[in-house]
Amino acid sequence: MSQTNMDRQQGSEILKICTNIIGARDEYTQGHSHHVYVVTEAIFEAGHFPIDREKLAHAALLHDIGKILVPENVLNKDCSLSDEEWEIIRQHPVSGCNLLQGTMFEDIGDWILYHHERMDGKGYHGLSGDGIPLASRIIAVADTFSALRTYRAYRPAKSIQDTIRILKEAAGTQLDANVVQTLLSYDEDFLEALECNCEICKRRKEAEHEKALSEKINLQSLPLYR
Ligand SMILES: [Fe+2]
Ligand SMILES: [Fe+2]
């Protein structure tokens, strides 16, 4: 095996360990990270962005790795967060970037550091427009799409129609309009199928399906006339 292939194989094993650590800490973030990776790949495929695909994939999978340093009671809190708790959450891109220093993933540190920037400069570090690395702008769109399409303890997932509408509204202010347009160049059926397959989302979907089924059975069992 050549040195490059060995490095690559070792890299993907290390990446797996990192995502498993994320999952051991927080099941939601692991599923979400994989979902962001899948959506990022779709954006890359449609947009042919001048960016290293493999590095972009690594950054998508590791973008929230800093959350392993966020205390569990803050990370999984259902109700609204205090200012102090928000400040802790806002540290996760910095923590993520720091965790990668001195490793083979060091060069994607900045992409992770800036994944919560906004086009209008109102993000975590105040970078705006093209000043935000392209990879971070791509991950931000995939991240938003994933967040909207994922079930959380405090709210259900958004429909694909609502997700498309919200992404269009955020284009230009929060998100890079060109990247949003690239993702939305896929048809609605494709976008709907780009779902999160984490255990939490699967369980919620099954529960919803069973509920809809039992409602249907109840309706069918009603007499047609009295
Ligand atoms: Fe994040
Ligand atoms: Fe995220």
- Catalytic (active-site) positions: 67
pLDDT, tens digit, 9 for 90 and up, residues 143-173: 999 999 988 777 788 999 999 999 999 999 9
Q: Which ligand is nearest to the CA of 146?
A: 2
Euclidean distance between CA atoms 181 and 183, whole angstroms: 5
Distance 33 CA to ligand 1 centre (A): 9
Ligand sitting nearest the alpha carbon of 147: 2
Residue 217: per-residue pLDDT: 65
CA of 212 to the centre of ligand 1 (A): 33
| Overall average pLDDT of the 46-72 stretch | 94
| pLDDT tops 90 at residue 176 | yes
Class for the domain spanning 11-220: mainly alpha
Cβ atoms of 168 and 184 closer than 8 Å: yes
pTM for this one? Answer: 0.87
Q: Tens of pLDDT along 182-213?
A: 999 999 999 999 987 777 777 777 777 787 77
pLDDT, residue 1, reads 61
Which residue shows structure tokens 């919560």? 116
Residue 218 and residue 212: Cα distance in Å, rounded? 10
How many whole angstroms from 64 Cα to the centroid of ligand 1?
5
- Give 218 Cα–ligand 2 centroid separation in angstroms: 39
Proximal ligand: closest to the CA of 66: 1
Please report, rounded to a whole number, the percentage of residues in the chain having pLDDT higher than 90. 61
Q: What is the pLDDT of residues 86-134, one digit of tens each?
A: 999 999 999 999 999 999 999 999 999 999 999 999 999 999 999 999 9
Whole-number Å distance, alpha carbon 6 to ligand 1 midpoint, is 30
CB-count burial class (<10 Å; 0-12, 13-18, 19+) for 132: buried
Q: What are the domain boundaries of the chain? A: 11-220
